[in-house]
A and B are shown apart, each in its own frame.
Chain A
């Protein structure tokens, strides 16, 4: 049994159809905590103590955000800079987050195919996420592949509902625990692992 913390960062959540669908009702799932950073810290004045206590109380951390200019919105970077302190999260004595799981959940306007060499975005999504991956590694955490919803402007209601169902399914399995970490990390996206693992 794991506890899952979603660190959600979206400056215009009220206008994001995709994220509203993904997040609808997730905080009702037992074991899942939703921490809406822009709602909690509209002035970017992050309460470091509160955030540290939240991290300590959860085993799985999710950075949930839209992909803005190939990275996360500003408040999430602010959060990382302030909360993941030297001597607490990293450094020789910084072991507070050791062996916790962490990954990105993100929404992107561009199609999955455009994130490739010789394509429009020139790099793969995993390459853009390297700063997150290395931060996780620095903090001695286990970094999982991202769960990504691509082409958000073109999604039909049905496709969106399917992605939302997958996300909820993922959260349920993270809470349940006992994940085959070794095989999960072979996938590019958690989206790919999920249908395989569902059967």
Chain B
């Protein structure tokens, strides 16, 4: 068996819809307050897609930017993986819709559903296809239109989420660079703490499921919070160790953007001050699978991640699932 190739990110892109909804706007929709949302989550606003704008529309926009940054054309893309829990439709997959929209006709395409860990899972799957030499260019995307699945009568969840998309092109890089280590995990025994009850085969859409508001996201907040604080810290430390590095080697953290207190706890575990952490939940809320790639794209475009840096990406989500990796730039 020939040796595995080093794989890295050769370009990133992101897209967040125009319509900005502040906490003050949310006060008019549901019984909440800017102060309550800010002190408990750190979120100040979120962006919602237009009524006729879908997950695949946003994904395609982010993808084209990533391809431009990577200097890669649509016919060079071998595989498209979309991490999303809010697909345009149940069939076909969002990845197939994206393929058509960006004109990557020769590629394979599929979706992957690990909720907020979607992008990190997609990256790890894509990395293995490139590492083995099966493919050269893999487009990985995290994209969500969560606003379609929010219960605007549930103040505990509807203030937390936003819409958006982020993408990266993976390809072979010189040895010693790229993704140095990674960890993926899941704990299905805690699956019911973050869920959408109806719309699957267990509970197909019916008059009753609509009446009972079962097509929206529900969450056991304190269980998710506990899980998140612990797993973000331990997964981050694990990938640093697996890469043969110490905490002093890590320059920057790109965490999932669910809650400022969870991010602070992860940063503390990695001994990183908050200036070394990309934070965008103040403006975008939790965009699930899109949070990490949008934050990563921003950090790169703002010049916060430089050649030679070592960055940790870490996320957690419904499933429950988690993922982390170390990238050498």
State yes or no: do A and B come from one complex: no
